[in-house]
Amino acid sequence: MYVYADHAATTPVHEAARKAMLHCLEEDYGNPSSLHSVGQRAREILDEARADVAACLNAEPSEITFTGGGSEADNQALLTGAVLGARKGKKHLITTAFEHHAVLHTMKALEKQGFTVTYLDVHADGVVRLEDVAAALTEDTALVSVMMVNNEIGTIQPIGEIAKLCQDKGVLFHTDAVQAVGHIPVDVKALGVDMLSLAAHKFHGPKGVGALYCRKGIRPEILIQGGAQERGRRGGTENMPGIVGMAAALKEAVLGLPAHMEKVTALRETLIAGLSKIPHSRLNGHRELRCPGTVNFCFEGIEGESLLLWLDAKGVAASSGSACTSGSLDPSHVLLALGLPHEIAHGSLRLSLGADNTEEEVEHILKVVPEVVAYLRGMSPVWEALETGKQKHLI
């Protein structure tokens, strides 16, 4: 048995998305900017996809800009907030220390351009506190960006409350909702956010396509100069197969959301209960405020990379955190932001389930993980030092 438990990294493409994409590749292959009927048909398909994506988020079609993925949407949102702020002489930005690198690295780039950025600490439970955001706001603050669901530990942030606070203070608010859309309810109007990013491949759509929601009245800054596509907000012929695939996947995800959430949450609970029995282990992030599928554990005396390789060999695809940072030996910036010591942050395991996972698959994970942890601890000098009392247990 081989179990794919890395849905936070990417998801398999839904059949409805695949069919919609194939149709675009094989039949309606037109360029939506062409004036002839082939082009006009493509234009209709594009408009329909935009209306579908908007409806799934309770937005207006004109508030949706299609992008080349979640990272691009994040880049565009932060640039938009920064430029709009700078026009009013505001050059302070606020985010958290545990954002995705698409946000963190864009913030670093904006710092080089003269903006000041506050990186809020996250509490040990992986949840940002409203009062910390409130305390960081100044007269000079242009934009606050806080992710809706953290990609490594799965905790849900109080986005509606933060958006309300920002609105009251006249500060723009963006949320990276890449791990939320298609997994928990996301209603841009109910949340009151100004900007929101999403990526198709995190909800069973294709890779390389995403969207940025920008509330009416906020014009997104241009990242890609070119033609008049996306009403002049993003040049380049539209990625038609990607866009229709995203719209189809999102419709499926939103339609099946209650059932999906119930099923995946039940699987996750079984997983947490089973993994918690491993001695000197720790569930990272708030026990309840978490998205259905993602769990993140630390096992003392274990090195994350070897754990992953052994799990892969035993039939479990997992991650040590974000796909972008694995491959380096640095501990996860997310776990460090929660205040975990380096020794522990190194031994983390992220398992992220999807609606396609089964109870049998979770049982397989629960059989394999304790075996591999015990095996690796048996070979670990660190574990020996802990067990012989030469070093103190931290978990």
Ligand X SMILES: *Cc1c(COP(=O)(O)O)cnc(C)c1O
If one asks whether residue 151 binds ligand X (CB under 6 A), the answer comes out as: yes
Alpha carbon distances (Å) from 321 to 29, 169, 304, 351: 38, 35, 9, 9
Contact between 70 and ligand X by CB under 6 A: the answer reads: yes
State the DSSP code for 202: G
Q: Determine if 252 is a binding residue for ligand X (CB under 6 A).
A: no
Residue 104 lies near ligand X (rule: CB under 6 A)? no
* Adjacent-strand bridge partners of 294: 352
Composition of the chain by helix, strand, coil, percent to 5: 45, 15, 40
Q: How far apart are CA 193 and CA 172, in angstroms?
A: 8
Position among 174, 202, 204, 233 found at the interface with ligand X (CB under 6 A)? 202
Q: Is 71 in the site for ligand X (CB under 6 A)?
A: yes
* Residue at token pair 């960081």: 136
Q: Are 123 and 129 in contact (CB under 8 A)?
A: yes
∠ at Cα 179 (104, 20), nearest 5°?
Answer: 120
Task: Choose which of 52, 176, 194, 230 interacts with ligand X (CB under 6 A).
Answer: 176
Tell me, residue by residue from 288 to 307, as one string, x for binding to ligand X by CB under 6 A and - for no binding: --------------------
Of the candidate spans 19-27, 67-75, 335-343, 353-361, the one that interacts with ligand X by CB under 6 A turns out to be 67-75
Answer yes or no: 324 catalytic: yes
Toward ligand X, which CB reaches closer, 314 or 350? 350
**CA 27/CA 3 separation, integer angstroms:** 35
Query: Quick one: tokens of 84?
Result: 């709009």
| Contact status: 69 vs ligand X (CB under 6 A) | yes
Confirm or reject binding of residue 102 to ligand X (CB under 6 A).
yes
- Exactly one of 117, 127, 147, 275 binds ligand X (CB under 6 A); that residue is 147
Which residue's CB is nearer to ligand X, number 178 or number 267?
Answer: 178
Which residues are at the interface with ligand X (CB under 6 A)? 69-71, 74, 100, 102, 147, 151, 176, 178-179, 199, 201-202, 210
Q: What is the set of active-site residues?
A: 324
